[in-house]
Structure 1
Amino acid sequence: MKGTIILALAALIARVLGAVQRIPLVYLLDDPGMATFSIAFNIYMMLLVAATAGIPSALSKLVSEKTALGQYEEAGRIYRAAIGFALAAGAVMTVLLFAAAPYYAEHMAKVPEASLAIRALAPALLLFPLIAIMRGYFQGRQRMMPNGLSQIVEQIVRLVAAIGLAYLLLQIGWGHDWAVAGASFGGVAGSVGAVLVMLYYAFKLRREDRRTGSVGNRTRTSAAMTNGDIFRRLFALSVPIVLFSLTVPLINWIDSTITVGLLQGRMTYETAVEALGVLGGRAQSLAGIPIILAIALSQSAVPVISSAFAKKDYATVNAQASKALYISVITGLPIVLAIGAAARPINIFMFGDDNGSGIIALLTASAMFQIVMQTSGAVLMGIGQMRPLIVHVVVGIAVKLACSYLFAPMFGIYGIIAATALCFVVMTQLNLVVLRKHVDYTILGRKWLGLVWTAVLVYAVGYGLEVLTHRYVQPFGYRLSHMLDAAIVGAVVLLAYAVLLGVTKVVAPEDVGRLPAPLQKALRRFGRKRQAGG
């Protein structure tokens, strides 16, 4: 639980910092510049996930197995072999991205100016695989702090470098293209910061091993693994995790690649680029917030599910799968409703105008399906159903592409968002169908209607309040007033949601035990206060 909390907090802080970074960048680069930045950034995120998503989990499994048997030298040899592979793979990826950048920017993304930003990002690929290997090793040694702290430092350094370089290059007159490239280079600076943190903890762990006598321990209980064996096991374990983890970054990359080309039939090139800037620079960063808490909470049950399934303890599997899905829905929905209702004041406060508020609201709404898709996918991983999960990813991406080409000519940028929502809906449904064959789970049962009514009423209250505050609550300057409006609307939405869950009996007293412990304590404290007041 300590490790889960560390990693969850690190992911939350990193995501918030990533969203905060967009505020000054939109001011410095404008929406067209953010379109160019988002093209490079989505490549960055996709390659980051590809390089780091599955390998840490796979390596941690191998290392933890060896260290549990006292085979520290074997664990170190696996680590060194993986480091060698990471450095070679990073060099190859860097060269390929640098060489392919002009073709991709001009012929695929249809934004030639993005070539410089993509090339500025390429050196980060030298370090991504190395970071992944080191995080996996620390995870296998039960050291979560280096992983969490490196994520936070990476985001802080990336934020400072991106904003600082963009501002500096504009001030010295190099123009927007170089400013965007400077912002993109922030990813390289961030990866350097992460590596430095990991190296510090690596030296610290090595000193600890020497002090305890772990280094040089050559205990063997089985034949030593060859490099080929190491790589085969790493890839067998990591590839399915990588493919599933790539779903959202891949969808964002698809959007940055095809949006301008698809929209040019309905609007000018400049307007299409601006629409992409709003989607990539504003909406995607905000739509990624609701899923953080839900996934962090639900993932805590996955190791229990995996262990119970291996022991054929199906009662525990059913209970924990139901709990994970229940928590993700109940805790994810209010954040979706709050951001959707307050999309306009949030947009104005963060980015200076209300351009694209509808895009933010609709893309955030689709995050609800993403929450259930990723939680159900995590449960499928826990019970070893990797092959159907990968098939669902392929089907979902096919739906995304087909619907984007079908809807964009008719509905413009909203057709692109509808295609994303349908992708998540299809993947969610496929996951749940397969999960039902193996697990007798229950999310809400007959309480779904109550939850739907709760969502509709809460959103109506929130949206109506937003209209009123937008007109009448403007005591400060333009942006500060809308910060206040967003806070008011968000607070009312969250409070109304909690109250209506009780009124509609979606959350009954017997359901409180399924909620996270901190929320249980808060509800019990609230109940005691009500009884005392009565």
Structure 2
Amino acid sequence: MSKKSYLKGAAILGVGAILAKFLGIFFKIPLARYIGDIGLGLYAYPYPIYNFFLAISVIGLPVAISKLVSERVAVGNFREAHRVFKVALNLLIIFGTVSSLILFGFSKVIIKVLNWHPDTYYALLGIAFAPFFVSVMSAFRGYFQGLQIMTPTAISQLIESFARVIIGLGLTIFLVKAYGIPQAAGGASFGATAGAMAGSAFLILLYTRKSKFFHRRIRQSPKGKSEATGKIIHGLLKIAIPASIASVVTSLMGIIDTAMVPARLGVAGFNIDQAAALFGQMSQKAQTLVNVPLTLSIALSTSLVPAISEAVALRDRKEVQNRIELGIRTVLLIALPSAIGLSFLADPIINLLFGAGEQGGEILAILSYSVVFVMLTTTLQSMLQGLGKVIIPIKNLLIGAIFKVGINFFLVSIPALNIRGAAIGTIIGYGIAAFLNYRAVKRYTRIKMDIMQTIIKPIIAVLAMGITVLLVYQFLSPILGNSLSTLVAILLGALIYFIMLLLIGGITTEEMALMPGGRKLTPILTKIGILRRKR
């Protein structure tokens, strides 16, 4: 796969993921108004345990599918690439079925063990069967990604999010009027199941329609002895288990929050409903907004694994280094302005999206800085996976998780900090994991990052952006009000950031290609001398 194809794939996944996340935000806005912060807390509690089961059953295998498929496609063996997909699909169906049955059958046990609010039961039931459909969906996504066809994943993300919004919100509105907030939280939670069903249906239909194309490529592949099924399973699990463990550790961070944070808030003097409300503000308001830029790192990481794996398979060390350097620079170009923008305009953004006087801005102002470290951790983890170093990021993430647990335990119980202590723990935990991952990538690839280009120039541009958004908002808010002033400040801040990057040479044609409309602007900006290629 050429660098152009890699960038195009990352861009397609990035656009699809961002649009899907915006649909998610517009799901949370009316949801917050119908069920309030306590309802958001009930809705939020099951998600870490749900993600934990997904991590075990489906997170690692799609990565393994894309890696093994891309390696076989790189040498023209489409026959074995398709066999990898079929074996993996069967595995995912089994894992997804088991995960869903555990969530459904042991829901009350899970609530009791983790000391959740009793009314969480409905939300847990609503999401119980989502893992089965996500498993099916993930198998097809992994296959298409391994073939370097990224559009199906992007479209399925949009379909999944759209169905989640329509069905989840519809059930919420009906149930809150007919029964109450706990049942409405369950209806909202069922939206995830409905979305996974819709996304799976789309990918199955698309695969069926493209079956002639796939079979033609298979017939054109050289005939030979097929790999044994056991060997394929071993190859998949060899990659999937470490990748899944990494995701399990990430999910455990969330589970730790759901179990520890409410308890430590109790030590700080908050009752069970107040704890649920604070947890809802952090996980369903602040974290929802933080997740928007994080989707770009996930898209980039998804594209990085097969891209780096292909370069490794072809023994092209220089291309491996180029793709890693480009991935790190691109992440920082996205993460730094996202963190500063969300932090500087935290209260205005919360009030814009969730309503005047809504709480959560103070949490967002701190949690927003986790964007930089989570994005770096995720991207560097994918790089190590592509290099075949799958155990190292697990150890590093576990070290970060241990620090997060300790920080949460002490800081959340301080009344003046309360839930903000968990945000600080997230920043420090992922900061440690990111540093350790970068050190490992540098050791195995011997990359030499251009500090000026990668860090200094983006920081200069982002500081100019931060000053701009503050001054613009403070000047306009008394005149135009919060909503319009916030939107204008965001748009002008993004424009200033982009212009500053161009003026100081902080962006190259490779990074420009990832931006919407970047390919059309590149020739123009290069011709007038304000955009350069990587030296």
Alpha-carbon distance in 2 for matches of 1:458, 1:451: 10
What SS does the corresponding residue of 1:409 show, helix, strand or coil? coil
**Which amino acid is the alignment partner of residue 366 of structure 1?**
S
**Which amino acid is the alignment partner of residue 358 of structure 1?**
E
Alpha-carbon distance in 1 for matches of 2:19, 2:211: 28
Residue equivalent to 1:516? 512
1:440 aligns with 2:446: yes
2:57–2:95: 8 Å Cα contact kept in structure 1? no
Residue correspondence of structure 1 range 471-486 to structure 2 within 5 A? 471-474=478-481, 482-486=482-486
Alpha-carbon distance in 2 for matches of 1:291, 1:501: 21
Gaps of 5+ in 1: 475-481
Residue equivalent to 2:469? 462
Stretch of structure 1 that moved more, 512-521 or 271-280: 512-521
Residue equivalent to 1:478? none
How far did residue 23 of structure 1 move? 0.6
Residue equivalent to 1:178? 183
Residue equivalent to 1:492? 492
Alpha-carbon distance in 2 for matches of 1:83, 1:314: 32
How far did residue 253 of structure 1 move? 3.5
1:333 aligns with 2:329: no
Alpha-carbon distance in 1 for matches of 2:333, 2:317: 24
Alpha-carbon distance in 1 for matches of 2:32, 2:170: 13
1:326–1:444: 8 Å Cα contact kept in structure 2? no
Residue equivalent to 2:90? 84
How far did residue 17 of structure 1 move? 1.4
Give the alignment partner of residue 345 of structure 1, picking from 339, 348, 351: 348
Residue equivalent to 2:323? 320
Alpha-carbon distance in 2 for matches of 1:449, 1:219: 50
**Which amino acid is the alignment partner of residue 484 of structure 1?**
L
How far did residue 32 of structure 1 move? 0.3
1:206 aligns with 2:211: yes
Residue equivalent to 1:431? 437
**Which amino acid is the alignment partner of residue 471 of structure 1?**
P
Give the alignment partner of residue 133 of structure 1, picking from 139, 146, 159: 139
Residue correspondence of structure 1 range 378-389 to structure 2 within 5 A? 378-389=382-393
Residue equivalent to 2:374? 370
| Distance 1:263-1:98 versus aligned 2 partners, 3 A rule | same
What SS does the corresponding residue of 2:201 show, helix, strand or coil? helix
**Which amino acid is the alignment partner of residue 487 of structure 1?**
L
TM-score by length of 1: 0.86
RMSD: 3.1
Residue correspondence of structure 1 range 107-506 to structure 2 within 5 A? 107-140=113-146, 143-172=149-178, 174-208=179-213, 212=216, 220-226=223-229, 228-246=230-248, 248-269=250-271, 270-293=273-296, 296=299, 303-310=306-313, 313-352=316-355, 353-410=357-414, 411-446=417-452, 448=455, 451-452=458-459, 454-474=461-481, 482-501=482-501, 505=504
What SS does the corresponding residue of 2:184 show, helix, strand or coil? helix
Residue equivalent to 1:479? none
Larger radius of gyration: 1
TM-score by length of 2: 0.86
Q: What CA deviation, in whole Å up to 9, does each residue of 1:52-88 have, x standing for no partner?
A: 332123234445666766674x666554444433333
| Distance 1:312-1:527 versus aligned 2 partners, 3 A rule | closer
How far did residue 260 of structure 1 move? 0.9
1:347–1:354: 8 Å Cα contact kept in structure 2? yes
1:369–1:425: 8 Å Cα contact kept in structure 2? yes
Stretch of structure 1 that moved more, 362-371 or 438-447: 438-447
Alpha-carbon distance in 1 for matches of 2:204, 2:318: 44
Alpha-carbon distance in 2 for matches of 1:389, 1:33: 35
How far did residue 318 of structure 1 move? 3.3
How far did residue 195 of structure 1 move? 2.0
How far did residue 31 of structure 1 move? 0.3
What SS does the corresponding residue of 1:127 show, helix, strand or coil? helix
**Which amino acid is the alignment partner of residue 116 of structure 2?**
K
What SS does the corresponding residue of 2:128 show, helix, strand or coil? helix
| Distance 1:492-1:197 versus aligned 2 partners, 3 A rule | same
1:407–1:415: 8 Å Cα contact kept in structure 2? yes
Alignment identity in percent?
A: 24
Alpha-carbon distance in 2 for matches of 1:37, 1:200: 31
What SS does the corresponding residue of 1:113 show, helix, strand or coil? helix
Q: What CA deviation, in whole Å up to 9, does each residue of 1:21-47 have, x standing for no partner?
A: 101110111000000101123333443
Alignment: residue pair count: 515
1:105–1:113: 8 Å Cα contact kept in structure 2? no
2:164–2:194: 8 Å Cα contact kept in structure 1? yes
How far did residue 145 of structure 1 move? 3.7
Stretch of structure 1 that moved more, 129-138 or 279-288: 129-138
Alpha-carbon distance in 2 for matches of 1:460, 1:429: 28
1:11 aligns with 2:14: no
Q: What CA deviation, in whole Å up to 9, does each residue of 1:73-104 have, x standing for no partner?
A: x6665544444333332232122112332233
1:298–1:327: 8 Å Cα contact kept in structure 2? no
1:39–1:109: 8 Å Cα contact kept in structure 2? no
How far did residue 521 of structure 1 move? 6.0
| Distance 1:69-1:316 versus aligned 2 partners, 3 A rule | closer
Q: What CA deviation, in whole Å up to 9, does each residue of 1:348-405 have, x standing for no partner?
A: 1211133111111211122112222222223223332222111111111111112111
